[in-house]
Amino acid sequence: MFYMIPFSSQRIAAFSYLATFMLTSILFFSCCNKSYGQNTSIAYAYPIDPIAIDGDLSDWPKQLTQYPIQEHLLPSRPDNEDDFTAHFRIGYNLDNQSLYLALEVIDDDYIRDTTENVAWNSQDGHELYIDALHAAMGSGVVSYLYSKDLQHINKMVSDSVVAKAGWEHIEVATRRQGTTTVYEWRIALGDQLYAGRSIGVDHQVFDKDIAGDFTIEAWGKGGYKFMNPQNVGDVILMKAHEQPGTLKGRIQWKNGLKKKLPSKIRLTSQQLPSLWVDTHLDSLGQYTVQLPAGTYQVSVPDILYIDEEDMYRVDTNILATVRLQSRQTVEAPLCEITHIIKPDLIPEKGILHDFDKRKAQALDHFIETYRQYYNIPGVSLALIREGQLAYHKTYGVKNTFTQEAVAENTLFEAASITKTVFAYVVNRLAEKGIIDLDKPLYQYLPFEAIAHDDRYQLITAQHVLSHRTGFPNWAYMNEDGNIDIKFTPGTQYGYSGEGFEYLKRVVVHVMGKPVEQILQEEVMGLMGMYHTYFSKNEALVKMAAHGHYDNLPNTPDIPEQPGMAFSMYTEAKAFTQFMIGLLHEKGMQPTTYAHMFTLHSEYPYEEGEEKPKYKEGMGLGIALRDSPYGKVFGHGGNNGDFQCQFEVYQDLKMGYVVFTNSNMGHILCHDLKDFLMEGKKQE
């Protein structure tokens, strides 16, 4: 038997927020600490006659190469070849402008999830990634998640080609016979499909076992494939009977620099720029790749690289030009790559201490210089001095595809800074006697998913605000519908957004009002906060910036419902209203502020990890640290493609807030603190 979606079908199953978050989280951590862009996979597609998409591969040409799928994206591994083995074949047809793919998975367990809660990780399945435009600077990827019981399309990056993608362009069937599962695809690519070019293609295969083990195997290296096209494999659309040549080469650092080499090199056709591939470099900087005959330019594709704690930028200019013949092997000349040194504009003393017009110009120069070095599209910045707004400015663009400039009213995801705004509300309600910070939350509102563990009865609002609940950052239900607590509440520190979401539900239950109404009554109006939203609305959609991964824009994913751990949108000038309100202890008694600003949890450090010179940790919903200039309060935020930071130096009555729409924003936030406040670090 087989199951298929015809071109005319519009069936797209709902994908739960939890499943989406889990997918992005797992794939994010799978590619952390690697250089940006880890593609090492190249396949060659030849013209084939049209094939019936029915899950029967007997009509596929026998001579097509089978490409193994064997990159592990999770710590779990298949037990053996019978437990999990996958490979695919690929071809194309110019008459119907379609790409054909046949994936075969050998798996001794074949798990379906026919429940209402079917999710991507509760069953066996296949996710196909297509980057049809395959622009050298980066373009959109569309992913088609497919199983017998769940189909979903992801279009995380907005470009003109991806915007048109849908199931109506797909024909897919699956068939199970013995221990082999077949996924057969036809993808209509229209005028994007022509011989001689390359396109982006990749696979992720999900394997669920009866024992509960879950494995993800991919073709190209690196996760976040639907957000980062450089993590997707390359497919060259070869002409009929065309035979490639082999190109070999090596790169090294210019001037004998002792740094880890980039992980890949790019080869671009001089005659047809739409033909390009990235190929893997070994530890010595050597590469070997097969390409159609022609002249190729050699370059380094990625600008930024991370090697453990070190980040560096590489010159991407053309390193060499090489002529390649069919069936021949050519040795490219040795290529020397250039390290672009990070700018050093940090002064001995932060400029905010004696800020003036000249220092404002220096600040603008600093932001633009570091923003360009780190490939950060947009920035919203504001400063406070003497307890009031002193400066604000925006820089860069909302979206690197459209190049629309960031404006004063452009809104950024504030990510975990949301927690501090909500924490203020909870502390204020505690002062009014509406919430008891030390009363177990289950006595207000039970939480069934953790009720199996008696320790959950210990969790209080104070534990939530100081991150001592025992929850993981985000909790996932196991097969029994339960969430596991990591440690006894109150005994140690463990950062958790899940705890804030539980506390939100408690507050809503106790107050009998929607959380956004509570926020308006208890903090927004009181602090004079404007241009600030917590869930999707028409104004927010118009003003929201696009988040970016590696300088490539995501389609905005604005929450339909407010999340008190992550969902606030605002901009720097507007947010200073809240910062100044905290500084002047607005809306609560000094004793309440003192309790909120008391260090309740010091940050833990691993054995051998260097501890900071000054004490730092969490108050009640606010981060606290000591500094050379006295007490500092604030909070950071990281939603991946949006990163931000605010800090206020209490004794100096000075501070800053910076929002970025980039996964590289945390580095700018760190450098900005030194530039504005603490100056160059003394050795």
645-657 pLDDT, tens digit each: 999 999 999 999 9
**pLDDT band, very low/low/confident/very high, at 309 (cuts 50, 70, 90):** low
What six digits make up the tokens of 177?
């016979």
Q: Tell me the range of 307-311, 613-617, 631-635 where mean pLDDT is highest.
A: 631-635
- The mean pLDDT of 661-665, rounded to a whole number, is 95
Q: Two tokens at 458? A: 């210990």
The Cβ of residue 16 has, within 10 Å, a number of other Cβ atoms equal to 12
- 13 has pLDDT over 60: no
Q: Is 39 within 8 Å of 84 (Cβ atoms)? A: no
What H or E segment, with its residue span, contains residue 325? none
CB environment 464-497: b (16+ within 10 A), e (fewer): bbbbbbbbbebbeeeeeeebebeeebeeebbbbb
Task: Tell me what the mean pLDDT of segment 263-288 comes to.
Answer: 94
Using pLDDT thresholds of 50, 70 and 90, give the confidence band for residue 185.
very high
Please give the DSSP secondary-structure letter assigned to residue 524.
I
The answer on pLDDT for 32 being more than 70 is no
Residue pair 506/441 in contact (Cβ under 8 Å)? The answer is yes
E-assigned strand segments in 524-564: 548-549, 552-553
Domain 351-436+517-678 is classified in which CATH homologous superfamily?
Answer: DD-peptidase/beta-lactamase superfamily (3.40.710.10)
By C-alpha distance, which of 187, 200, 347, 319 is closest to 249?
319
Mean pLDDT score, 411-432 = 98
Question: In this structure, are strands 142-146 and 151-155 parallel, antiparallel, or unpaired?
Answer: antiparallel
Fold of domain 2-237: Immunoglobulin-like (2.60.40)
Distance CA 635, CA 582 (A): 13
Between 683 and 35, the more confident residue is 683
Cα separation, 280 vs 262, whole angstroms: 9
User: Of 216-225, 314-323, 368-377, which gets the smallest average pLDDT?
Assistant: 216-225
Count of H-run helices and E-run strands, the chain: 12, 37
Q: What is the mean pLDDT of residues 408-419?
A: 98
The token pair that represents 383 in the structure block: 């400063």
CB contact at 8 A, 398 and 377: yes
Q: Which residues contact 63 (CB under 8 A, 6 or more apart)?
A: none
Beta strands in 541-638 (DSSP E): 548-549, 552-553, 569-570, 601-602, 616-618, 623-627, 630-638
Instruction: Average the pLDDT over each of 115-119, 189-193, 341-345 and give the range with the smallest value.
Output: 115-119
Residues in the chain: 683
| pLDDT over threshold 90, residue 312 | no
Candidates 668, 676, 682, 613; CA nearest to 649 is 676
Question: Quick one: tokens of 428?
Answer: 């204020």
Mean pLDDT of 249-254: 94
Q: What is the mean pLDDT of the chain?
A: 90
Q: Report pLDDT digits (tens) over 471-507.
A: 999 987 776 778 999 999 999 999 999 999 999 999 9
Per 3-state DSSP, what percentage of the chain is helix, strand, and coil (rounded to 5)?
20, 30, 45
Cα-based distances in Å from 636 to 296, 529, 543, 546, 659: 45, 19, 22, 19, 10
Higher pLDDT, 29 or 678: 678
pLDDT of residue 7: 36
What pLDDT score was predicted for residue 308? Answer: 64
State the DSSP string of 219-288: SSSSS-TTT-GGGSEEEEEPPTT---EEEEEEEEEGGG--SPPPSEEEEEESS-TT-EEEEE--TTSEEE
The pLDDT of residue 4? 37
- Taking the C-alpha atoms of residue 632 and residue 651, their distance in angstroms, rounded to an integer, is 8
589-607 pLDDT tens trace: 999 999 999 999 999 988 8
Q: Can you give the pLDDT at residue 157?
A: 60
Query: Element (H or E) spanning 38, and its range?
Result: none
Domain ranges (residues) in the chain: 2-237, 245-340, 351-436+517-678
Contact present, 297 and 321 (Cβ < 8 Å) = yes
Q: Is the pLDDT of residue 416 over 60?
A: yes
pLDDT of residue 362: 97
Q: Provide φ and ψ at 647, rounded to 5°.
A: -145, 145
Is-contact 92 99, C-beta < 8 A?
yes
For residue 236, pLDDT over 80 is answered with: yes
Tell me if 2-237 shares its fold with 245-340: yes
Of residues 6 and 532, more confidently modeled: 532
Report the percentage of the chain scoring pLDDT > 70: 93
Q: Is the pLDDT of residue 437 over 60?
A: yes
How many whole angstroms separate alpha carbon 173 and alpha carbon 570?
45
User: In the prediction, which pLDDT does 310 show?
Assistant: 72
- Is residue 80 scored above 60 in pLDDT? yes
- Report helix, strand or coil for 392: strand
Q: What is the pLDDT of residue 164?
A: 86
Q: How confident is the model at residue 18 (pLDDT cuts 50, 70, 90)?
A: very low
Tell me the pLDDT band of 155, cut-offs 50, 70 and 90: confident
125-162: burial string, b at 16+ Cβ within 10 Å, e else: bbbbbbbbbbbeebbbbbbbbbbbbbbbbbbbbbbebb
585 neighbors 593 (Cβ within 8 angstroms): yes
Highest mean pLDDT among 37-51, 549-563, 639-653: 639-653
Cβ burial of 538 (10 Å; 0-12, 13-18, 19+) is: exposed
User: Would the pLDDT of 158 be above 70?
Assistant: no
d(CA 480, CA 378): 44
Res 550: pLDDT: 86
220 contacts 39 by C-beta, under 8 angstroms:
yes
Spatial CB neighbours of 466, under 8 Å, sequence gap ≥ 6: 493, 600, 601, 618, 619, 620, 621
- Options 1.20.1090.10, 3.60.15.10, 2.60.40.10, 2.40.128.50; CATH of 245-340: 2.60.40.10
Type of residue at 343: P
Count CB neighbours of 677 within 10 A.
22
| pLDDT at residue 28, as a whole number | 33
Q: Which residues contact 357 (CB under 8 A, 6 or more apart)?
A: none
pLDDT over threshold 60, residue 10: no
Residue 33 predicted with pLDDT over 80: no
Question: How does residue 176 score in pLDDT terms, banded at 50, 70 and 90?
Answer: very high
